Amino acid sequence: MPELPEVETIKRQLARKLVGKKWSAKKIVGVRRRAKMLLVDFVDGSSLVFHLKLTGQLIFNGQPGRYTRQVFNFSDGTRLVFNDKRKFGWFKLVSNVDSLKEIKKLGPEPFDVTPADFNKRLLVRRRAKIKSLLMDQTFIAGIGNIYADEILFKAKVRPDRIASSLTKPEVKEIFSSIKKVLTAAIKAGGSSVEDYIDAEGKKGGYRKLHKVYQRTGQECFKCATPIKRLKLGGRSSHFCPHCQI
């Protein structure tokens, strides 16, 4: 599933391409991201909200194909193609984004949360496993399986650690790693693990930089210990049993 870095990449590309265009006589005035959702804002206050889910793609001036679910044609002859192989993705035209249930339940953005707020949120959810928390969109918005694994490797913390077991230095390192990993991933254009491509039809380069995600059995880049995999909440988690404690 495209996570924050992938959607942020698409957002930045589409913001340069769509602002000022008209769709259905409605002028586009901005393109935003909230968590893993993309928001196209119109001058009348309404917004077109996209959630790409597992296999969704938004391609500017793309060619419609077998998996195309919708084509958005603009007044200047350009278009935005929405593809979705597995059909889990969705889009909605809403008059007020803030009233959308998928938006209302979200936690803060990773780049907006303060260290104090992060600590407070951990205290409230102190019995939860740290990776499950990072992926919980009501706890912090935009992080999924890929980046939770990579963040915890950088922070040297096992994904199955209980929040209450974390020391203050570990919490500080997790908080710092969230921003560092996401920033690096955005710079690389996200991770093309399966179907993800950006709005220009290009793959993201951050997969080449993954330290643990989907590297089960391969040597850790730091210590050469084989990367292990465990199940947490029905999802696979990848970690180094030597580097992460």
Q: Which residues are catalytic?
A: 2-3, 36, 235
Q: Which residues contact 124 (CB under 8 A, 6 or more apart)?
A: none
